[in-house]
């Protein structure tokens, strides 16, 4: 075990714990528990908002899987990764003020709250809760596997033990600290991610003798490494462009991202977050994936994609600095996992339990239940992650695509199209989710695009047609909804 590698990580885990503890102190005084626990009391400023969005979104795949693939495929994969630049500003610009205003009008704390008030349909609530639970659970398990493997690879302790350390830390601060703890740790993690990217990029270029010799070396090995088409020519323009849906604009439909668009304090915070978020996500995506490509010249012959970054860090950085850098993917994983964990428990408590099981539950019960459920889910994920499924990055993307196909239209058109109704939303969620799962099994890249594209189009059609066909029903109810969401008192 390399001690100078381990201590930065331990220090880091300890710091995160302390933050969770202080956030829970703050919460004791907050007047409204649910709003505080799941949304941080809608008090996020611009910097925190940008960081929590970026950190939630940039997961293990940005630090391990992604750069590992860039190592194999070359600059074409960096190009693909840069389609994520758009997430820095697009989510906030599109959901933007409207989502923030509407969710305040109706007092929504979760995405499902919003959907419930907008569509007034039990089916929409239950199906969307189901989709969130199904997909986020699998996404989370994948991330935990990444966290456990990471600790394992640096410290040499067995996987199960590493996973346990990871689980205890995350559960510790999320269960007691809620959204505020998540947002604060996300901000710290975001800073670590950016700093880690910059340091490693510089060190890699220096060790490689500059960008030019690195590129020459790559071109000599396989000229395709420096084309946009990938080492094996598999990255067609259409395929790469279709990632603009999956990891670009489609991110609007991710519940863990959307819920952040109702958590900020004021419009100035949103404006600042768009600028900071764009630069931060751009720097991380460009930097990390470029590092992956450069690594091919600096540490050739790495077999397993996920291990490229650790191997590289140990080669180009002094041990203590590598230890600090190792905290970056750790931070990325934890900051994604904490958000997902909280979202799953909010879905169970707020959307299912308080809506349908015991609406009259008193405040103390809700409080105890929220903390307990968060912890229990954590334990379940831990158990799942002990026998981990393979291919971290794809499992992760699979969940993202499913959620996007299910939610993008019920959210976006719910905000901007008055005629959108429960029937449209229902069809959209089911068609989006089902077609993505079916395509995933039988037709992986339909028409040469990523599997998410067709389901997103189908769910749009489902939403529009469903709403149109039923627009004559329940006119009075639809009018009430419109007045509540669009009107001024």
Partner 1 sequence: MKKDQDARDSGWREDPRYKIANREAGTGVGLALLNFFWWFGFAYGMGSRPVEEYRYILGFPDWFFYSCIIGFFVIGFLVWAVVTFLFEDVSLEDSPEEQEGGGESE
Are 421 and 471 in contact by the 8 Å Cβ rule? The answer is: yes
Are 422 and 124 in contact by the 8 Å Cβ rule? The answer is: yes
Residue with smaller CB distance to partner 1, 106 or 157: 106
Residue with smaller CB distance to partner 1, 89 or 394: 89
The residues, any chain, with a CB within 8 Å of residue 46's CB and separated by 6 or more, are 264, 268, 269, 270, 271, 272, 273, 276
93-120 residues labelled b (16+ CB within 10 A) or e (exposed): ebbbeebbebbeeeebbbbbbbbbbbbb
How far, CA to CA in Å, does 43 sit from each of 24, 248, 252, 311?
15, 26, 21, 40
Shortest distance, CB of residue 213 to partner 1, whole angstroms? 8
Which residues would be at the binding site for partner 1 (CB under 8 A)?
75, 78-79, 82-83, 85-86, 88-90, 92-94, 96-98, 100-101, 104-105, 210-212, 214-215, 219, 223-224, 226-229, 237, 241, 244, 248-249, 266-268, 271-272, 274-275, 278-279, 282-283, 286, 416, 479, 483, 486-489
Shortest distance, CB of residue 215 to partner 1, whole angstroms? 6
Residue with smaller CB distance to partner 1, 19 or 261: 261
Residue with smaller CB distance to partner 1, 17 or 239: 239
Are 46 and 315 in contact by the 8 Å Cβ rule? The answer is: no
Closest CA to 255 of 400, 358, 145: 400
Shortest distance, CB of residue 314 to partner 1, whole angstroms? 25
Residue with smaller CB distance to partner 1, 16 or 251: 251
Shortest distance, CB of residue 94 to partner 1, whole angstroms? 5
Shortest distance, CB of residue 264 to partner 1, whole angstroms? 8
Closest CA to 341 of 367, 375, 369, 372: 375
Shortest distance, CB of residue 100 to partner 1, whole angstroms? 5
Shortest distance, CB of residue 28 to partner 1, whole angstroms? 25
Shortest distance, CB of residue 315 to partner 1, whole angstroms? 20
Residue with smaller CB distance to partner 1, 272 or 367: 272
Structure tokens at 388: 């981990």
Structure tokens at 34: 């649910």
Are 337 and 140 in contact by the 8 Å Cβ rule? The answer is: yes
Structure tokens at 409: 């239209």
Structure tokens at 371: 């903390």
Residue with smaller CB distance to partner 1, 358 or 479: 479
Q: Could you tell me the maximum CA-CA distance found in the chain, to the nearest angstrom?
A: 71
Residue with smaller CB distance to partner 1, 156 or 210: 210
Residue with smaller CB distance to partner 1, 73 or 167: 73
Block residue for tokens 């002990």: 386
How far, CA to CA in Å, does 353 sit from each of 255, 259, 361?
19, 19, 9
Shortest distance, CB of residue 257 to partner 1, whole angstroms? 14
């Amino acid at each position: 075990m390399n001690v100078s590698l381990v201590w930065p990580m331990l220090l880091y885990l300890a710091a995160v714990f302390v933050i969770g503890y202080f956030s829970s102190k703050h919460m004791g005084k907050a007047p409204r528990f649910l709003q505080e626990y799941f949304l941080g009391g809608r008090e996020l400023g611009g910097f925190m908002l940008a960081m929590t969005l970026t950190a939630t979104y940039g997961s293990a795949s940005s630090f391990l899987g992604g750069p590992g693939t860039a190592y194999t495929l070359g600059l074409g994969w960096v190009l693909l990764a840069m389609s994520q630049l758009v997430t820095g500003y697009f989510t906030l610009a599109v959901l933007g003020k409207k989502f923030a205003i509407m969710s305040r009008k109706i007092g929504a704390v979760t995405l499902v709250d919003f959907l419930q008030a907008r569509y007034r349909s039990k089916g929409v609530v239950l199906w969307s809760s189901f989709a969130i639970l199904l997909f986020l659970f699998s996404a989370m398990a994948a991330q935990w596997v990444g966290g456990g493997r990471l600790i394992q690879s640096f410290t040499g302790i067995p996987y199960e033990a590493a996973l346990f350390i990871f689980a205890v830390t995350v559960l510790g601060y999320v269960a007691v600290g809620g959204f505020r703890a998540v947002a604060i740790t996300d901000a710290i993690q975001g800073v670590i991610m950016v700093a880690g990217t910059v340091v490693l990029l510089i060190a890699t270029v220096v060790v490689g003798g500059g960008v030019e010799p690195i590129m020459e070396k790559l071109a000599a090995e396989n000229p395709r490494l420096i084309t946009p088409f990938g080492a094996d020519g598999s990255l067609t323009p259409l395929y790469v462009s279709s990632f603009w849906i999956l990891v670009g604009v489609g991110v609007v439909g991710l519940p863990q991202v959307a819920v952040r668009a109702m958590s900020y304090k004021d419009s100035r915070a949103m404006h600042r977050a768009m600028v900071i978020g764009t630069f931060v996500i751009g720097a991380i995506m460009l930097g990390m994936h470029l590092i992956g490509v450069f690594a091919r010249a600096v540490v050739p012959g790495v077999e397993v994609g996920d291990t490229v970054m650790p191997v590289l860090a140990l080669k180009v950085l002094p041990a203590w600095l590598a230890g600090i850098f190792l905290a970056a993917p750790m931070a990325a994983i934890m900051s994604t996992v904490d958000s997902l964990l909280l979202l799953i428990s909010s879905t169970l408590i707020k959307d299912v339990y308080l809506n349908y099981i015991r609406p009259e539950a008193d405040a103390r019960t809700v409080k105890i239940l929220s903390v307990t459920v968060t912890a229990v889910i954590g334990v379940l994920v831990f158990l799942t992650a002990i026998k981990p499924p393979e291919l971290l990055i794809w499992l992760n993307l699979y969940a993202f695509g499913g959620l996007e196909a299910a939610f993008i239209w019920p959210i976006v058109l719910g905000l901007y199209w008055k005629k959108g109704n429960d029937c449209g939303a229902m069809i959209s969620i089911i068609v989006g989710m089902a077609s993505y799962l079916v395509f995933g099994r039988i037709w992986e890249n339909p028409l040469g695009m990523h599997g998410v594209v067709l389901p997103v189009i189908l769910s749009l059609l489902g939403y529009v047609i469903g709403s149109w066909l039923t627009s004559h029903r329940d006119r009075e109810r639809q009018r009430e909804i419109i007045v509540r969401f669009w009107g001024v008192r």
